[in-house]
Amino acid sequence: MTNVLRQFVRLLKLCIAGKGGKTSLVYLAIVIALQLAGIYFTIRLVAWTSDFYGALEKVDAKAAVWQIGVFAIIVAANSVRSLTADYLQKILHIKWRRSLTEAALGSWFADRAYWRLTQGDCPRDVDNPDQRIADDCGLFVKGILDEGIELITKLVGIFSFLALLWGLSTFPLSFSLFGFESSIPRYMVWAAFIYVALSSGLTHLLGRPLKSLFYTQQKREGDFRFAMARIRQSADEIALMGGENVERTGLDRRFDGIAQNWRKLAGREFLLGCFTFPYSHTVLRIPLFVALPGFLAGSIALGGLMQIAMAFSNVVTTLSWFIFSYKPLSNLVAASSRLDGFLAATDAVRARPSGIAHEVSSDGLHIRDLKLRTPEGRELLSLPRLDIRSGETVWLRGQSGLGKTTLLKAMAGGWDHGDGRMEMPSASKLFLSQKAYFPQGDVFGAVAYPAPVEAFARQDLRRAVEAVGFGDSDMLRLEDAWEGHPLVLSGLSGGELQRLALARALVLKPDWLFLDEATGALDEAAEAELFAVLRKRLPGTTFVIVSHRSPKALGTMRVIDLEPKAEAAYENPALLFA
C-alpha cells in the first residue's frame, strides 16, 4: 500500500507541475465543491422522503402534491450541479493528461533515454513505452480523478450521513439471548459499520488478483499492437519472403495470450460479481429490514421508517466506496504501476554511471584506452588510441561483429557499456546509419530532419534531393506518395532510401559526417557518384566511414584497421587513396 501511495503522489505531482498547474487546482477545487454540494441535496432528499411519506400516511393530498413540486426542484438543481461538475472534471482530465504525457515524453527523450532503453539498459518489466505513454497516462488520470474525488466526497459525506443517522436512530434494539435481556442503543449505526466491514473484507479477498491481471492484459494488448505495427512497417520484406503464415501464426499466438488472460480476468470478475452484484442491489433494501424491528415495535412511523432507511442506505453506500470501486481501483493501480515503472526505468538509465568518459575537443576526435562491452560484460572492441583530425576522411575497417557500429554509437553518446576516454569535436555532427529513418510528414521535412523544415528554403531542399540522383519525375512521385502517407516509403528501394538520407548531409552541411554502412544498399558506381557529390558539396567536412568495402571518390583517405591484430588499432599506410 505504501508503494502504491508513493506512485500516486509522484504521478500527481507531475500532473500538477505542468503548464497551467495552478489553474488545474482551481478546477479541482470547484469540482470537489460541486460534488460536496451533492451531499446537501442527498440530505435534503432524505428529509423530503419523511415529508412525502408522512403526507401519504395522513392522506394529505395537498401536502403530497406540494412535495412532488419540491422533489422536482431538488432534482433540477442537483442535475445542474452534477452536469457542471462532470464537464469541469473532463476539462481537468485533459489538462492533467497533457501534463503527465509531457512529463513522460520529457523523461523518455531526456539524455536519449528512449535510445538507451533499447541498448540493453531496459529492465525486463518495461515493455511498450509507447503504450505506457499513450494509454496509461489517460487511464491513470481518469482513475485518480474519478476515484479520488469520489473518495473525498465520501469521507466528507460520511460525517454528515452518520450525524443524520445518529439523530434518527434514537430507538434501541432489544432482544433476549440465553435468558438475558439485552439492548443495543442506536443499533442502526453499528449495524452499518459491521455490515460494510465484513463486505469489504470479502470483496478484497475475491478481487485481490485483479491488479496483476489488469497489468498483464495491458502488456499483452500492447505487444499485439506492436507486432502488427512491425508487419505494417516491414510489409515489403514479409511479402517478398512469403512470411504471411509465420506472421499470422505469431499474431495468433499473441492473441491467444490476450484471450487466455482475458478469461482469467473474466473469471475473477465473475467471482467478485457473485458478491458485489447482489450487494449493490440489496444495499437499498437491507436498511428496511434492519429498521423493521423499530417500526414493528411502534418506535417510528412509516415516514420515519422510510427516512431512517434512506439515511442508513446513504451511510452504507458511502462506506461501501471500496467495494463498489474495487475493479476501477485495481485498474488504476495497474496503470500507475506501469507508468511509475517506466519513469523509474528512464531515471535509472540516465543515472547509471558510464565507464566511458565523454569530453569535448576543439581540434578533432581523440580516443584513449577505450574498451567497448556488451550489456552482459563481454568485450567487443579494444581501442587504445585513435585520433582523427578535422578535415580528414577516415575509413574504419573491420570484420562483421567486431563492434564498428557500437563504436559509432559510443561516439554519438548512446553506448555506455565499457570504459576509457572519448573526446568528441565541438563542431556540428551528423550520424547516418544503414537503416535510414524518416519522420512523418512530407519529403522535404524528411530531408531537413532533424532540423525543422522551416529553417530551409523549399528550393534548397529540392536541389539537395535532386543532387543525390532524383529527377523531376521522381520528385513528383515522392511528393505525391509522401504527403500524409509516410508508410508509402515501403515502395522505395533500400538504395533510394539511403540516397534520401544522404541528401540530409547536403542540407545540414555538418562539420563532421559519420556514415555507418550508409551506402550499403547501393552498387559501387552509384556509391562513388554519391561520395563525389558529397565531397564536392562539403569540402570542409570530416568524413568518418564504417563500411565493408573501400569508399571511392572521397579523395585522400586514411584507413584505420580495427582488427585485434595488435594492442592498438593501426593505420595501414598502403591504403591511402587519392
Place 115 in a pLDDT band, splitting at 50, 70 and 90: confident
C-alpha–C-alpha distance, residues 159 and 490, integer Å: 65
23-70 tens-digit pLDDT: 999 999 999 999 999 988 988 887 888 788 888 878 888 888 998 999
Provide mean pLDDT across the span 245-253.
88
pLDDT for res 536:
92
pLDDT for res 391:
92
261-294 tens-digit pLDDT: 999 989 998 988 888 888 777 765 676 677 677 6
Is pLDDT at 570 greater than 50 in this prediction?
no
pLDDT for res 174:
64
**Higher-confidence residue: 435 or 371?**
371
**For residue 175, is it left (φ>0), alpha (ψ between -120 and 50) or beta?**
beta
pLDDT for res 489:
57
pLDDT for res 76:
94
pLDDT for res 467:
92
**For residue 390, is it left (φ>0), alpha (ψ between -120 and 50) or beta?**
beta
Is pLDDT at 79 greater than 80 in this prediction?
yes
Q: Over pLDDT 90: what percentage of the chain?
A: 34
- The mean of the pLDDT values for the chain is 84
Provide mean pLDDT across the span 116-138.
77
Closest among 309, 287, 307, 284 to 54, alpha carbons compared:
307
Give the SS3 label for residue 224. Answer: helix
Question: Per mean pLDDT, which range of 61-75, 302-316, 335-349 is the poorest?
Answer: 302-316
Domains of the chain in start order, with CATH, are: 2-216+255-351 (1.20.1560.10), 356-571 (3.40.50.300)
Is pLDDT at 239 greater than 80 in this prediction?
no
pLDDT for res 377:
84
pLDDT for res 568:
39
501-554 tens-digit pLDDT: 999 999 999 999 999 999 988 888 999 999 999 999 999 999 999 988 888 878
Place 567 in a pLDDT band, splitting at 50, 70 and 90: very low
**Higher-confidence residue: 274 or 87?**
87
Provide mean pLDDT across the span 299-310.
71
Provide mean pLDDT across the span 233-252.
79
Q: 3-state DSSP helix/strand/coil percent for the chain, to nearest 5?
A: 65, 10, 20
Is pLDDT at 566 greater than 50 in this prediction?
no
pLDDT for res 569:
43
Provide mean pLDDT across the span 371-385.
89
Type of residue numbered 422: M
Cell numbers 479541482 label which residue? 28
**Higher-confidence residue: 231 or 486?**
231
pLDDT for res 181:
67
346 CB burial (10 A radius; 0-12, 13-18, 19+)? buried
The residues, ordered by sequence, that sit 6+ positions from 400 with a Cβ below 8 Å of its Cβ are 548
